[in-house]
Amino acid sequence: MNTRLWNRSFTLWLLGSAQSRLGAALASIALSFLVLHQTGSAGRMAQTLALSLLPNLPLAGTLVDRWPLKLPLIAASLVQGFLQLTVGGLALAWGEVPLWAINVAALLGGLAAAFEGPASGAALPALVPETELTRANGLTSGLNQAMTLLGTLAGGVLVAHWSPAGAMALDGLSFLVFSVLLIGVRLPPLPPVQDQASLWADFRSGVALMRRSPLLSMIPVLALLLNGSLAPVLVVLPRLMTTLGPGAQGYSLYLALESGGLLLAGGLCAWLGNRLALRRTMSAGFVLTALAYLGMWLAPVVPVLLGCALVLGLGFGLINVPAVALIQQLVPAGYLGRIFAVLNAAGALGMPLVLAAISPFVDRLPLGMWFLVSGTAQGLGLLGWWWVQRREAGSAAHQQPRAV
């Protein structure tokens, strides 16, 4: 167990995840506009995004808890790198890639991410002392968002002056670099599985652990609701920015400002560290995100959209960083893969469900209306978070749960 925050493995982890996030930011803009340029339909873009999020399977976390953490981390990076290089390379060579091929790559990339996400959440507590978890999560989030900020700014320029395909190829290279850096990260072995129970039995034991705590039970529900609220925004904004005039560069600037807000949140959490009141900080994040969506609904014009993007990013950062730190503090190491898999699956489920639901209507209804829908979801999330805190305060389950 590392006794200090800044050690070789954590530094390599920071550098690798940061440059990978840079590539992912480039690709997020590139994929949206690649599909939009080839089909001219926001609905088709929504379907592709939905496919990339479908494979988030909770049972993946059960396998993560049984494997050395490096295995899913390196394998997922290699798979995602190969897929992005393939799609980007074909687009550069052919000019257009069949939509079915893009969708297959999105589906397989989502399957790799289903293993990478839980493994990443389980790895960080093994890299730093427990007393530094909040600061480590803040640093990781802040640096990743700084790279996202740089990537979104560069992505708009690449898409506008070069091609979406080039940005996707760069993303593929970033995943391959991350897989190489992961070789130098030292991760202690997870606690061994106590018996040879089936995958389903192990998964149920993780769910039973979550049910012992009102907070752990509620966080996946909130993740489903909040990530679902982002779905209309991801679909509407490229079309809205095109209608208002800025196009791809305006969309990339919006994402850059949102990343800037997330960067501010990560920096705040890293600076305060253990002094940060995690639960109150999450409440503040819900308030900020609801207000940002309300502003975008009331005045869907470029200056307001850009200002609200910064507030929205700050709010989401003040929700995400404390939520991850709380889970890492409450859950034993041998169960982290399962808990983060459930959390990721719940959050990812909200996105494709909403994308599939709105894709027939997004080209027909006023674009600004979708911000009201998202703001309502954020308000419901705030009420749910207040409710679970009241329940937690009156229950013995607020103490750290024991492994079952």
Can you give the pLDDT at residue 397? Answer: 43
Cα–Cα distance for residue pair 74/143, rounded to 1 Å: 21
Model confidence band, residue 289 (pLDDT cutoffs 50, 70, 90): very high
Amino acid 403: pLDDT = 43
Give the pLDDT band (50/70/90) at residue 73.
confident
pLDDT at res. 181? 84
Exposed, middle or buried by CB within 10 Å (0-12, 13-18, 19+), for 153?
A: buried
126-138 pLDDT tens trace: 888 888 989 999 9
* Helices 99-127/70-94 angle, 10° precision: 150
pTM across the whole model: 0.78
Instruction: Identify the weakest region by mean pLDDT among 145-149, 298-302, 396-400.
Output: 396-400
Three-state SS annotation for 147-216: HHHHHHHHHHHHHHHCCHHHHHHHHHHHHHHHHHHHCCCCCCCCCCCCCCCCHHHHHHHHHHHHHCCHHH
* Backbone CA torsion sign across 168, 173, 174, 175: positive
Amino acid at 200: W
Cα separation, 40 vs 200, whole angstroms: 43
* Nearest of 167, 30, 38, 47 to residue 97 by alpha carbon: 38
Q: Are 258 and 310 in contact (CB under 8 A)?
A: yes
Find where tokens 């939009």 sit.
Answer: 36
Region of poorest pLDDT, from 52-56, 93-97, 287-291: 52-56
Give the tokens for residue 138: 């803040």
Tell me how far CA of residue 23 lies from CA of 27, 50, 165, 223, in angstroms: 6, 20, 12, 25
User: Is residue 399 predicted with pLDDT exceeding 60?
Assistant: no
- Is residue 244 packed enough to be buried (19+ CB in 10 Å), middle (13-18) or exposed (0-12)? middle
Q: Are 216 and 330 in contact (CB under 8 A)?
A: yes
Residue 220 tokens read as 């996946």
Query: Mean pLDDT lowest for which of 4-8, 197-201, 318-322?
Result: 197-201
pLDDT at 19 over 90: no
How many whole angstroms separate alpha carbon 211 and alpha carbon 205? 10
Sign of CA dihedral 178, 179, 182, 183: negative
According to the model, what pLDDT value does residue 47 have? 75
Q: Are 222 and 316 within 8 A, CB to CB?
A: no
Domain boundaries, the chain: 8-185+196-398
325 vs 369: CA distance, rounded Å: 34
Burial group, residue 207, by CB count within 10 angstroms (0-12, 13-18, 19+): middle
CATH superfamily of 8-185+196-398: MFS general substrate transporter like domains (1.20.1250.20)
Instruction: Please give the pLDDT value at position 191.
Output: 57
Whether the predicted pLDDT of 339 surpasses 80: yes
Could you tell me which residues come within 8 angstroms of residue 97 by beta carbon, excluding any fewer than 6 positions away?
34, 38, 87, 90, 91
The contacts of residue 198 (CB under 8 Å, 6+ apart) are none
Predicted confidence at residue 42, as pLDDT, reads: 67
Query: Which residue's structure tokens are 């959209």?
Result: 305
| pLDDT value at residue 51 | 75
Q: How far apart are CA 179 and CA 338, in angstroms?
A: 23
Going along 316-387, which residue ranges are E strands?
A: none
CB atoms within 10 A of CB 86: 16
Q: What is the largest CA-CA distance in the chain?
A: 62
Half-sphere exposure at residue 133, Cβ-oriented, CA atoms within 13 angstroms:
20
| SS3 label, residue 299 | coil
Q: Please give the DSSP secondary-structure letter assigned to residue 128.
A: S
Backbone angles phi, psi at 109, to 5 degrees: -65, -40
Q: What pLDDT score was predicted for residue 193?
A: 52
**Span 255-275, mean pLDDT?**
88
Structure tokens at 213: 């705590």
Q: What is the mean pLDDT of the chain?
A: 82
pLDDT of 196 > 60? The answer is no
